[in-house]
């Protein structure tokens, strides 16, 4: 007899949504992936979205993570303060509707520097739970915004959000560098030269203008400008951390951006260890099990 | 008998254009200011624009400065390498049409770091020529991109472009900070707190996310977010320079942005000295006189 589903897990982000029919043992029986992220939905749309997902995956309880629990989503699931474990997250879920719970994000509240995350924590803690990363580690999670995340014994203790990808995308779209950044971004000599400039930079807002000046003065080939600019921004991001030398950094993700961060971490003297995507369901299932 | 005009001076930038009917003695007899900057004009439009300006101000020789001499403008007037004086600029003008000359910009070509300017140099060297600033000085010229400019004996010897204003404008328009940066930006406690964070920051792309985290966690009032973010970016810009303590910095401009930079320079231990706008005609006239 085939396993039956026990609940629906949803990774509900800003622009994407992934939903999974999960067994009691954490096996994914069915899934869907669409673009009905929170930016695509009106505030009142969520009950109907849940009904449609249940129509598709079965009439099960729902456990959701990510921006669905933000002030732009369904309803705000208040942040848990770091240090935070899967147990703390499981205890702090918010009921959004009958049988629908939202897992909170994590905040740095009391230090010198505030920071927040909502969704990334599930992937990190899921990777640890699944044995894909050690319980005490430094993680780098590239994306629109990169997150540096430190864990100790399975608790997220500290993290820093860096707006690297977002600033790159904005500069590519508009302003004095627009039109110069449409070439390929891949590892190679221009990317690595950019990395070294970025790591040494005291202010990325100054160093980035060297892309324009370099092209205008014939010191940078136009086809190399995108990779060089990406190198500067990722180098500055990496250079923010002064603790990478001879340290292992667990880089989350299997795409091209994660590979570029791995190159950058090596350039800064660290040792990148790639952690494949796909630990989010492990993280959600751990929370479901703790709540069961 | 009233003075007659001898030539037309044009400050022809990216988005704005100012044209002046100038006497042999450098007196402005008439002027116009419009939005026919180079981004508003097709490549072939310049001869007709000159004809229309001569219709309005008189059929005189023309001396133009700024982005009109760039690859986005009428034709490229090749950069002069720093160190550059008014004499060097006067020698290196490009004839764009009969009786129409374009003054080149200045480039850092041979150092570790490339940089370019086109237009700012005229205002700085004009201020020195007019006695509004000393011949050996450090200048700060805020704008869409801020320029730090060093002069020695009336020559521009070094400069750094920082994309402070542009990055601020991009972040206000799109992305995770959009919607948080629409409040007023003025000097006050939030701006100064931002300044201190920016000066101490190793990576403005990380520090800027504190704006969002601070608002979400109730540590930053939404109405203060714009001033705080501006403080971070201007603070990081100021913090790029490690040589401001007990140093005079000549801040060009009389607007609100120049006043904010003056506050920031003071915060970093420097002494701001405001240099009012309006030295561009003095700079152009010096070049015209050297060429006459």
Looking from the CA of B208 toward its CB, the CA atoms found within 13 Å total: 32
- Alpha carbon B141 to its chain's center: 5
Which residues of chain B have a CB within 8 Å of the CB of A116? 212-213, 216-217
d(C-alpha B86, C-alpha B92), whole Å: 10
Q: Which of B113, B171, B239 sits opposite A170 (nearest CB)?
A: B171
| Averaged pLDDT for residues A239-266 | 94
CB B124 within 8 A of CB B156: yes
Which residues of chain A have a CB within 8 Å of the CB of B114? 210, 213-214, 216-217, 219-220
Helix runs in chain A, H state only: 46-57, 86-91, 120-129, 164-173, 189-200, 204-207, 209-216, 225-239, 256-267, 280-291
Torsion of CA A44, A29, A7, A155, to 10 degrees: -90
Which residues of chain B have a CB within 8 Å of the CB of A202? 202, 239-240
Phi-psi region of B157 (alpha: psi -120 to 50; beta: other; left: phi over 0): alpha
For residue A1, how many other CB atoms are within 10 A of its CB? 3
pLDDT one-digit tens code per residue, B166-183: 999 999 999 899 999 999
The domain at B7-132+279-291 falls in which architecture? 2-Layer Sandwich (3.30)
Q: Which of B113, B167, B217 sits opposite A116 (nearest CB)?
A: B217
User: Which of B163, B168, B179, B212 is best to mutate for the A interface (most A CBs within 10 A)?
Assistant: B163
User: Is A7-132+278-291 a domain of CATH 3.30.420.300?
Assistant: yes
Q: Taking CB atoms and an 8 Å cut-off, how many pairs form between chains A and B?
A: 132
- CA distance readout (Å), A178 to A169, A211, B41, B49, B216: 10, 11, 18, 27, 31
B103 exposure class (CB count in 10 Å sphere: 0-12, 13-18, 19+): buried
Q: Which of A203, A216, A217 sits opposite B162 (nearest CB)?
A: A203
Q: Counting every residue, how long is chain A?
A: 292
User: Which of B206, B211, B230, B241 is best to mutate for the A interface (most A CBs within 10 A)?
Assistant: B206
Segment (H or E) for A251: strand A248-252
Segment (H or E) for B89: helix B86-91
- CA distance readout (Å), B22 to A141, A213, B60: 60, 33, 10
CB B53 within 8 A of CB B63: no
Phi-psi region of A278 (alpha: psi -120 to 50; beta: other; left: phi over 0): left
Q: Which of A108, A176, A236 sits opposite B203 (nearest CB)?
A: A236
A247 exposure class (CB count in 10 Å sphere: 0-12, 13-18, 19+): middle
d(C-alpha B30, C-alpha B188), whole Å: 40
Which residues of chain B have a CB within 8 Å of the CB of A15? none
* Domain boundary assignment for chain A: 7-132+278-291, 162-275
| Averaged pLDDT for residues A264-281 | 94
Report the gap between the CA of A239 and the closest CA in chain B (Å). 8
Interface check for B121 against chain A (CB to CB < 8 A): the answer is: no
Interface check for B57 against chain A (CB to CB < 8 A): the answer is: no
pLDDT one-digit tens code per residue, B83-136: 999 999 999 999 999 999 999 999 999 888 999 999 999 999 999 999 999 999
* Rounded percentage of chain A residues whose pLDDT exceeds 70: 99
Interface check for B110 against chain A (CB to CB < 8 A): the answer is: no
Phi-psi region of B61 (alpha: psi -120 to 50; beta: other; left: phi over 0): beta
B7, β-bridge pairs: B22
CATH for A162-275 is 3.30.420.310
pLDDT in tens, chain B (292 residues): 457 999 999 999 999 999 999 999 999 999 999 999 999 999 999 999 999 999 999 999 999 999 999 988 999 999 999 999 999 999 999 999 999 999 999 999 988 899 999 999 999 999 999 999 999 999 999 988 999 999 999 999 999 999 999 999 999 999 899 999 999 899 999 999 999 999 999 899 999 999 999 999 999 999 999 999 999 999 999 998 989 999 999 999 989 999 999 999 999 999 999 998 889 999 999 999 999 8
Fold match between B7-132+279-291 and B162-275?
Answer: yes
Structure tokens of B53? 């300006």
Residue found under tokens 């292992």: A248
| Averaged pLDDT for residues A68-90 | 96
Residue (of B142, B144, B143, B66) closest to B105 by Cα position: B66
Instruction: Please answer yes or no on whether B107 and A204 come within 8 Å at the CB atom.
Output: no
Q: Helix, strand, coil shares of chain B as percentages rounded to 5?
A: 40, 25, 40
């Amino acid at each position: 007899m085939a396993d039956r589903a026990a609940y629906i897990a949803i990774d509900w982000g800003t622009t994407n949504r992934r939903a999974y029919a999960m067994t009691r043992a954490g096996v994914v029986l069915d899934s869907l992936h669409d673009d009905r992220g929170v930016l695509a939905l009106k505030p009142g749309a969520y009950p109907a979205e849940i009904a449609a997902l249940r129509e598709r995956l079965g009439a099960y309880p729902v456990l959701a993570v990510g921006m669905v629990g933000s002030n732009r989503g369904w309803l705000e699931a208040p942040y848990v303060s770091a240090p935070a474990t899967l147990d703390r997250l499981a205890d702090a879920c918010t009921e959004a509707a009958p049988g629908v719970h939202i897992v909170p994000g994590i905040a740095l509240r009391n230090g010198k520097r505030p920071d927040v995350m909502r969704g990334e924590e599930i992937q990190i803690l899921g990777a640890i739970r699944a044995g894909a990363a050690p319980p005490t580690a430094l993680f780098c999670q590239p994306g629109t915004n990169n997150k540096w995340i430190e864990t100790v014994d399975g608790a997220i203790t500290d993290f820093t959000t860096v707006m690297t990808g977002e600033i790159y995308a904005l500069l590519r779209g508009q302003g004095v560098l627009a039109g110069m950044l449409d070439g390929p971004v891949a590892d190679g000599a221009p990317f690595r030269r950019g990395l070294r400039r970025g790591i040494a930079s005291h202010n990325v807002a100054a160093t980035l203008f060297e892309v324009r000046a370099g092209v205008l003065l014939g010191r940078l080939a136009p086809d190399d400008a995108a990779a060089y600019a990406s190198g500067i921004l990722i180098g500055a991001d990496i250079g923010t951390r002064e603790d990478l030398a001879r340290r292992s950094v667990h880089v989350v993700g299997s795409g091209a951006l994660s590979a570029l961060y791995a190159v950058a971490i090596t350039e800064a003297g660290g040792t990148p260890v790639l952690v494949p995507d796909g630990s989010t369901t492990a993280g959600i299932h751990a929370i479901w099990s703790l709540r069961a």
